[in-house]
Structure 1
Amino acid sequence: MTTNNTTGTQLAGGPVWDWAAGHGPITGALSATTGAFAAATTGAATAMPPGWALAIGAAGALGHTIAGLRARNAGRTVATRAACWLLGAGWTTWAMATTPLSWTALGSLAALGVGIGTATHSTALYEEAREEEALAAAERQVAAELSADHRAIAAEWVDRIQRVCGITVRVLAVEMWPTGTGFSIDAELPPGGATYDRIAKDAPKLSADARLPHGCTATASPGIHQGRVILDVATVNVLAEERTYPTDYGPLSVLTGIPWGYRTNAEEIRTYLREQCALVVGPTGSGKTNMVHVILAGFARATDVLTWVIDLNAGSAGLPWVLPALSGQLTAPDGAPVRPGIDWLAATHEEATVMLDAVLRIARHRKTVYQDLMARANTDLLPVSPQIPQIMLVVDEGAEILTSTDRTLRQLAGKILEVIRIARAMGVRTVLTALGATGSVLGNLMIRREAKVRVALTGGETEGMDLNRMFPGSRGLRVDQAPYKGSGFLSTPETGVGVFKAWRILPDQIRDITAATAHLHPILDAPSAAAAGEAYARRWEADRTAWLHHTTGTGSDTDTAGPQPAARPGLNLSALRAERPEQEPDADADALAARLMAEIDQTFGTTDEPGTPPPPERQEQEEPPAPRRPGLNLSALRGQNEPPQHAPDAGPPWLAQAIDAIESAGAMGLKPSAVAELVGKDRKTVRAALRAAVKRGELVYRDNGPHSVYVHPDHA
């Protein structure tokens, strides 16, 4: 009976032959002697020249000697193998010259086989002992290099990894971080297919087992090859303290990386954005605006980057980098004006559209005008330099623009996606921000594919923080690992995902960076400037930056009106703000009441309560009562000659600004959405006020469906 299996056929009760196994001392000796006997017999029968056998043996000895030296075998092993070849060739030559069938020939061949087997067994034992001694020497060397503290750390973590992860590693080195905030362990994984992922997925368990402080983690990453693992263990929570942006404002390059923050080992993180886009998400209060300023600070220091910013929230992300320079508050040491910290700022849909159109024209023009340059450099990427700078397009809450259902925002979203799609090789990349790592933000394939640099600022916020979707393939990420404002997770193609924190940067430091880096900013290359046209050349002209000057006001009409009257006790009524009643604190209460009544009679002519008919003698002299004033029935306003309720209203205070803007727009007019963006009101309120202005003849409504606009009568 036979049994069939995947390796062959095995006879019941018989031996199992492994034909792939190598020769041992016995099988090797049998193979050598039988081969020599067969060669001698065949040679003697065919009258083969005996010298051939000797030549073949010498060639075999030489080949095995070379192979042994390359394999770094011991000298006795190399000599034994060469001697076996020469002895076997010598016997074959002698047997061919005489006869291989004599008892003398057969006896000497048997003796030769026993000698070959014994020598082979001896050399095998020696090689095994030599290998074990080499391993022991390597372990002794590693142990010698590790100090007593390092050996204790190594032993502790070997035991911990065995207990938590179920695998046994061999620690090769322990390196303490220069910052004194932790250490790194270089370990070798056990044979059998174990990978670093088995340790990485249990990183939270290792951190808990080691009783690390909050904010400290044990993170596993690949070693120098797939059989090694690096375990970074943070022992000091550097995320809890606030660190300001480094005061070294020296030059940077997009090719050598832009610093965005620091890891738990206190070392700065650099992002490489020559070919990658970036996505930064963070809920309100997580430090996202501060992170944007850190990013802009790095771009301001780069000598081969021009930064263009789109922020439809009144341009707030770019204002601190623009206003001090445009208002003349900053000057260079030689007295010359300072360039803004960013190269272009768009705060409205119209300006953002103009900017995106200019970016697309630049990208397409660079594809043709710089073909010779790329051919000389033998590259398909535009060689970015201070002469041909890269354009970094920073769009605050840009991910929300890409997912918006508003028609105007969808147009902007289409242009942003086109920039991401076509402009990589031509040196245009984007940095988008969002309020959360949600499915609507990360559902866009273009964002997931191009934004390889990703930041999730958590600040302890759990809602809208889908870290598994933000960092696919990562394990063990929890929001409570980064509970501090400005902290979170950062992933780059070079370093993987890990906990980090952004530096704190304040407006005073932004002003300092703007002044210190003004001379580092490159100039847009001539072909790109020609492609951008007047839209780029006139970006800082007065008519394009008029909205910036409104932000420098105090926000109150009374701030510059000089001293104000003392506040009247009680309700702050606009009808009574022009009066300044005098009250003596030490006057008698009755005298004060009488004086107040007399003052009211003198000012308003009556003190009758509502609904009280006047005396008959006054009814004949008084004019017909005025219609009742809408709103509160205030005694301070009774008897005044007020306009009727249906009289036209002058409109809200911001309407005058809106009408001026519509007049400046000329015959093109403005849409209600543009007016709402200008005055900072919602569209419903703006539309109602504009319709009322049309009824009064102050504006003209030009109905053109979705393109309807309001036009000033002078241009109608």
Structure 2
Amino acid sequence: MATNTASTGPVWDWAAGHGPVTGALSATTGCLAVATTGTAAGMPPGWALAIGAAGAIGHTVTSLRDRLSARTIGMRAASWLLGAGWTTWAMATTPLSWTALGSLATLGVGIGAAARATLLHEEARELEAIAAAERQVAADLSAERRAIAAEWVDRVQRVCGITVRVRAVEMWPTGTGFTLDADLPPGGATYDRIAREAPKLSADARLPHGCTATASPGIDQGRVLVDVTTVNVLAKEVTYPTDYGPLSVLTGIPWGLRTNADEIRVYLREQCALVVGPTGSGKTNMVHTILAGFARATDVLTWVIDLNAGSAGLPWVRPTLDNDGRPADGMRPGVDWLAASPEEAALMLDTAVRVAKHRKTVYQDLMAQANTDLLPISDRIPQIIIVIDEGAEILAATDRTSRTLAAKILEVIRIARAMGIRTVLTALGATGAVLGNLMIRREAKVRVALTGGETEGMDLAKQFPGSRGLRVDQAPYKGAGFLGTPESPAALFKSWRILPNQIRDITAATADRHPTLDAPSATAAGDAYARRWDADRTAWMRDQPSTPAATSHGQQADQPSRLNLSALRSEQLPTAEPDEEELARRFREQIDAQFATAPETGAAEPDEPQPPAPGGLNLSALKAGDNPAREAALALLLAAGPKGTGASAIARALADEHGTTRQTVVGWLKSWTEDGTAVRVGIGTKARYVHHHHASEQPPEG
């Protein structure tokens, strides 16, 4: 059945209530209809009066229930009674006379005017009630603020020995605390006199654990702001926001939340960053939070260096790679370049230096047009941010490879600020070795310390010089710590918890948002950058067997590239076939020729002088005629695998069968370390020794 939607006139809303005009019209027409009908039907006139009285009583009851004013109640009751009175009179005479009709019209006008007046009165009364309620709330809040102000004036006087005057108390919208804006007393008092007593103020106020009272500079040097946290927000895990909207390095990248639940944004256009966090403090999660912000930015290309198997960057790359290790069609990895080896890292850093130097020359006209000495960063000329996991440890290391990488990192930091290349370094601890480099202290003004309750190696005074009242025990929770930027002093914060599925979602949501390297920079970067996703350079990212196949003797199957030291095995493998024995003989001859190993026992005449063996790989420990205890000790060292072992453990294992002492084992380990058979890891009581075959499998410390 078709529906005719054409407009045929005004549309009446029968559910709408009556106003002053329609109400009066409805009342008068109703009275006229009842009077004419009742007269024609011979209805007794008194019935109309009884109905009007009932209506007046009913409206009076409902008006009292709705708490309407007396004026409104009187107007409604009078309307019912006047209408009923006119109807009764009209039925007793005649409702269709000019006298009756004129008096009814006059009655209707009077009812409408009275209804309009009472409506305005009710609106004014309602507005006044709302205003009175707001004044009462303001008065109560003002009383609460005055009480807080008086309490803290007394507390500052008692703890800090100075008298302040509180100008205002701002309650945080999150309900987790408040801020005091106070005038310092005359005579040269400064805000840090309160700041250094922050722990005492927190204790005096009986604040919950994880809550602090911290002082910071006010609007001028004679004012102080005291932020008081009353609810511990650090203990709660806060998931990374699901809004993956676009960001910009120019407007700040969010890194977490302050204790007042305000979002913290860091500005890395000119600044480098240093993130410190011991094992278990949430540093890896913080790195992923940082990478998430960079992935959302439309003017940032992220390069990642992680010499620990590239674990920091792999979750941002793997979901976008095809079987050949290249980004799939229509997908862009969450990071633009990932290096997991010293060679790839050196290639990346060299490329960054070339790009920075080329930008200095090719963009001179652009900077002149913009009247700036900083390269204008945009989605067409993106900023390059190099995230180096445990990069501070690389700077502090003394081995040749680390020193080479450290020099390249410092060169990037030193020359590339104006050209839009910055670094984010992470470290396991805020120690003098990490923070001893002047370049890092000068350039890394954005600093994060994730404490996790760890006190060893967390010198907050070194990481945040000039900040007072910072204690590790204020942030004993995972993902909690201190963050300071040039825009805001160091204070407590909470890092978001980012889950693996969110990393995949962000990677997919931002795949079409990542900028591409500008043409001049890409020219300077050359093949090193253009071929970064070649199959041979991404082979390590693909799936590898999780557990090597085991032989019938419980040993892992030997890889073709590994040395088969069967002399160190506790069980003898089956006798090799003749061709395998020939290969083994040739292999030993090649080792003897290349490394000048010790000759076989009995190979030379007893009275023939033995030439001294030059330095090299000494496999004499594997010869059948060598010390059995020493052979057993070397076998234990090899069996210990990448975890390594110590002198005491080896001595205990050999004591019953060989009677070997710890001092003897220490001598062997020392000699093996000197000739390259073993590698020492750690210092002091935590030192352990790893066979050189497993040294490459050693994870970085921490």
Give TM class, smaller chain: 0.5 to 0.7
Cα distance per residue 1:213-235 (max 9 Å; x no partner): 11100011111111111111111
Asked if the contact 1:400/1:434 (under 8 Å) is kept, the reply is: yes
Question: SS at 2:511's partner residue?
Answer: helix
Alignment match, 1:389: 382
Equivalent residue letter for 2:547 = S
For 1:109-188, list aligned pairs within 5 A. Answer: 147-188=142-183
Structure 2 residue identity aligned to 1:422: I
- 1:350-382 CA distances to partner (integer Å, 9 max, x unpaired)? 111111111001000000100000001000000
Aligned ranges for residues 412-451 of structure 1 at < 5 Å? 412-451=405-444
**Counterpart in 2 of 1:366?**
359
Query: In the TM superposition, what are the counterparts of 1:260-299 in structure 2 within 5 Å?
Result: 260-299=255-294
Question: 1:306·1:391 contact (CA, 8 Å) conserved in 2?
Answer: yes
Q: Deviations over 1:41-77 (max 9, x none)?
A: xxxxxxxxxxxxxxxxxxxxxxxxxxxxxxxxxxxxx
The one-letter code of the counterpart of 1:152 is A
Relative to structure 1, the CA distance from residue 443 to residue 632 in structure 2 (aligned partners, 3 Å threshold; closer, same or farther) is closer
CA contact (8 A) 1:330 1:515 kept: no
- AA in 1 matched with 2:269: R
Indicate if the aligned counterparts of 1:330 and 1:337 stay in contact, CA closer than 8 A: no
Equivalent residue number for residue 340 of structure 2: 347
| Residue in structure 1 matched with residue 634 of structure 2 by the alignment | none
2:546 — aligned with what?
Answer: 555
Q: Distance in 1 between matches of 2:545 and 2:144?
A: 61
Aligned-pair distance for 1:251? Answer: 0.5
- Provide Cα deviations, 1:80-139, integer angstroms capped at 9, x if missing partner: xxxxxxxxxxxxxxxxxxxxxxxxxxxxxxxxxxxxxxxxxxxxxxxxxxxxxxxxxxxx
Q: Distance in 1 between matches of 2:405 and 2:264?
A: 32
List alignment gaps of at least 5 residues for structure 1.
Answer: 1-142, 565-571, 578-627, 653-671, 673-678, 690-716
Q: Which residue of 2 aligns with 1:675?
A: none
Indicate whether 1:507 and 2:507 are aligned: no
User: Quick check: 1:233 aligned with 2:228?
Assistant: yes
- Separation in 2, partners of 1:329, 1:504: 32
Who is 1:89 aligned against? none
Q: C-alpha distance in 1, partners of 2:471/2:546?
A: 43
The answer to whether 1:409 aligns with 2:402 is yes
Amino acid at match of 1:187: A
Partner of 2:198: 203
Deviation at residue 331 of structure 1 after TM alignment:
14
Deviation at 1:337, TM superposition (A): 3.0
Cα RMSD of the aligned pairs, angstroms, is 3.4
2:300–2:383 contact (8 Å) kept in structure 1: yes
Q: Flag the 1:236–1:685 CA change in 2: closer, same or farther, 3 A.
A: farther
CA shift for structure 1 position 327: 3.4
**Conserved? CA contact 2:155–2:201, under 8 Å:** yes
Q: Is the 8 A contact 1:330 1:338 kept in 2?
A: no
Q: Which one of 534, 538, 543 corresponds to residue 536 of structure 2?
A: 543
Q: Is the 2:326–2:535 Cα contact (8 Å) retained in structure 1?
A: no
Is the 1:331–1:337 Cα contact (8 Å) retained in structure 2? no
Say which SS state the counterpart of residue 535 (structure 2) adopts.
Answer: coil
- Alpha-carbon displacement from aligned partner over 1:452-493 (angstroms, at most 9, x marks no partner): 000111100000011111111111111000100111111101
User: Contact conserved, 2:303 with 2:338, CA < 8 A, in 1?
Assistant: yes
2:509 equivalent in structure 1: 516
Alpha-carbon distance, 1:197 to partner: 0.8
Inter-partner Cα distance in structure 2 for 1:352 and 1:213: 46
Following TM superposition, by how much is the alpha carbon of 1:574 offset from its aligned partner in structure 2, in angstroms? 3.9
Contact 2:325 2:538 in 1 (8 A): no
Separation in 1, partners of 2:585, 2:673: 18
Change (3 A) 1:196 1:573: same
| TM-score of the two chains, using structure 1 as the length reference | 0.59
Name the residue aligned to 1:194.
189
Question: What is the CA deviation profile of residues 314-342 of structure 1, one whole-angstrom value per residue up to 9, with x for unaligned ones?
Answer: 1111000001111379999xx95311000
Task: Report the Cα distance in structure 1 between the residues aligned to 2:458 and 2:568, rounded to whole angstroms.
Answer: 50
Q: 1:222 to 1:633 in 2, by over 3 A?
A: closer
Identity score, percent = 74
The aligned amino acid for 1:264 is T
In structure 2, C-alpha distance between the alignment counterparts of 1:330 and 1:642, rounded to whole Å: 39
Change (3 A) 1:443 1:406: same
Query: Is the CA contact 2:325–2:535 (under 8 Å) kept in the aligned structure 1?
Result: no
> 1:269-293 deviations in whole A, cap 9, x for unaligned?
1100000000111111111111111
Q: What pairs with 1:509-658 in structure 2 (closer than 5 Å)?
A: 509-549=502-542, 552-557=543-548, 573-574=553-554, 632=570
* Alpha-carbon offset, residue 642 of structure 1: 6.1
Contact 2:359-2:419 within 8 A present in 1 as well: yes
Query: Residue 452 of structure 2 corresponds to which residue in structure 1?
Result: 459
Alpha carbons 1:331, 1:338 under 8 Å: kept: no
What letter corresponds to residue 283 of structure 2 in structure 1?
Answer: K
Secondary structure, counterpart of 1:415 in structure 2: helix
Cα deviation, residue 171, structure 1: 1.1
Q: What is the aligned counterpart of 1:217 among 212, 221, 227?
A: 212
In 1, the alpha carbon distance for the partners of 2:183 and 2:544 equals 64
CA distance in 2, matches of 1:649, 1:684: 26
Task: Determine the C-alpha separation between the residues in 1 that align with 2:522 and 2:424.
Answer: 22
The letter of the residue matching 1:355 is M
Paired letter, 1:348:
S
Shift of 1:149: 1.1
For 2:270 and 2:259, the matched residues in 1 are separated by 27
Structure 1 residues 524 and 651: alpha-carbon distance in aligned structure 2, compared to 1, 3 A threshold: farther
Task: Please give the TM-score of this superposition, normalised by the length of structure 2.
Answer: 0.60
Please report how far the alpha carbon of residue 145 of structure 1 lies from its aligned counterpart in structure 2 after TM superposition.
10
1:522-577 deviations in Å (ceiling 9; x for gaps): 1110000000001111111111111111xx23412459xxxx9xxxxxxx8449x9
Instruction: Tell me if the contact between 1:172 and 1:186 (Cα under 8 Å) persists in the aligned partners.
Output: yes
Structure 2 SS opposite 1:496: coil
What is residue 13 of structure 1 aligned with on the other side?
none
Structure 1 residues 680 and 326: CA distance shift in structure 2, 3 A: farther
Q: Secondary structure at the match of 2:312?
A: coil
- 2:371 is aligned to 378
Cα–Cα, structure 1 residues 198 and 432, in superposed 2: closer, same or farther, change >3 Å?
A: same
Matches within 5 A, 1:7-18: none
| Map of 1:704 onto structure 2 | none
Contact map agreement 2:325 2:541 (CA 8 A) in 1: no
Residues 631 and 446 of structure 1: is their aligned pair in 2 closer, same or farther, counting only changes over 3 Å? closer
Query: Match of 2:651?
Result: none
Contact kept, 8 Å, 2:180 with 2:226, in 1: the verdict is yes
* Distance across 2 between alignment mates of 1:327 and 1:208: 57
Which of 204, 224, 243 is the aligned partner of 1:248? 243
Q: What letter matches 2:181 in structure 1? A: D
Pair 1:474 & 2:480 matched: no
Partner deviation per Cα, 1:14-60 (whole Å, 9 max, x = no partner): xxxxxxxxxxxxxxxxxxxxxxxxxxxxxxxxxxxxxxxxxxxxxxx
Number of equivalenced pairs: 453
Shift of 1:349: 1.1
Distance 1:272 1:229 in 2: 25
Tell me by how many angstroms 1:641 deviates.
5.3
Change (3 A) 1:229 1:310: same
